Structures are given as C-alpha cells and as structure tokens.
Amino acid sequence: MAITKLHFPDIFVKPSPSTWALTTLLHDLGTAEENLTATRMSFDIYGGIKALQVPKVFGGTSDQAEAVAEAIIRHEDMEVDGTITYIGQLIQLATTYDNTSVHPHVRNFESMVHLATREEVVKARPRLLWSEFFARTIRKEENIKPWCHSTHLVNFAEEIESNTLMKKWE
C-alpha cells in the first residue's frame, strides 16, 4: 500500500485493503512445500488456482477471488507485453522490490518505498534470511520443474541472493 500511496495516489480504481491483503498473503502459496511438490504446474499458477477459493471461504465475492487469483498467476510476468490489472502490477512491483530490489523499467527503484517504512516493516516482520530461503525455493522448483514459469526470469535465484536493498536486514 506504501507504493500506491506514494506513487499512484490518483489511481482511479484502487484495490480494497482486504483484496490487497489476500493477494499479498497468498501470492507465494504455491511455494509451500506441500504445494510445490503436489503438482507439475508452476508455483504461481498453482498458487493462483488454490487461492481462488480462499476469499469465497471468508465471504468474499467472485470478483475479489478472481482478482486475487489473476494477480497471483501473473505476478512473475515482468517484461511481458500487454496490459495487467492495477493489483497485478502492484504485486509485481512489491514482489520485485522485496526479492531483487531491481526493476527493468524503474530507475531508482529503491525510492519506491521510504527507508523509514522499510525499517518499520522489517522490524514488525523480520526477514529471517528470506533471500537465502526464497532463492533455494526457486532453485528447487526449477530443478523439479525445468519448464516452470520462474525460468523466464533469467538468473532469478541469483538476483534474489544479490538483493542489496534488503541485505542489511537478512
């Protein structure tokens, strides 16, 4: 939400806080050990399919469930031509910011979120060697599913490990 408030304050259709919360909480659902090995599908696609039911269980609408699922399915689609929903673009920016700290089309990507905000978030939710863990997860998926969607992000695991923006909190 910090990215929305700072960089897109006039966006016409903002996601509801609950839709955004569901998207952020569920976007890597497919990387859970039982999900990563339960299917031959890429983690983001399988995670999006599994996430489709979660909002409905808690009284969400089909529109909300579909918005969350589509954002999750497409959250690794960086540098892909075409258009995307705002929530899909936002989860791409947030995921890239957190995991690699680089974006192919955003100069000074570090400024997407204020330092004080980053520090508050990490204080409340420590990273606990996140970059090391997530890079290992990506390598695992690429090893067991050499065709997986993550492979289109060339050297993704290495970029995660080289995340200079979050390094001091690892």
pLDDT of residue 120: 94
Q: Are 19 and 27 in contact (CB under 8 A)?
A: no
The rounded distance, in Å, linking the Cα atoms of 90 and 67 is 12
Whether residue 102 is predicted with pLDDT greater than 90 in this model: the reply is no
- Reported as a single tens digit per residue, the pLDDT across 129-140 is 999 999 999 999
CA gap 20, 11 in Å, rounded: 15
Summarised one tens digit per residue, pLDDT across range 21-57 is 999 999 999 999 999 999 999 999 999 999 999 999 9
Element (H, E) at 69: helix 62-73
Tell me 110's DSSP state. G
State the fold for domain 2-169: Hypothetical protein af1432 (1.10.3210)
- Structure confidence at residue 103 (pLDDT): 79
CA nearest 41: which of 119, 135, 143, 148?
A: 148
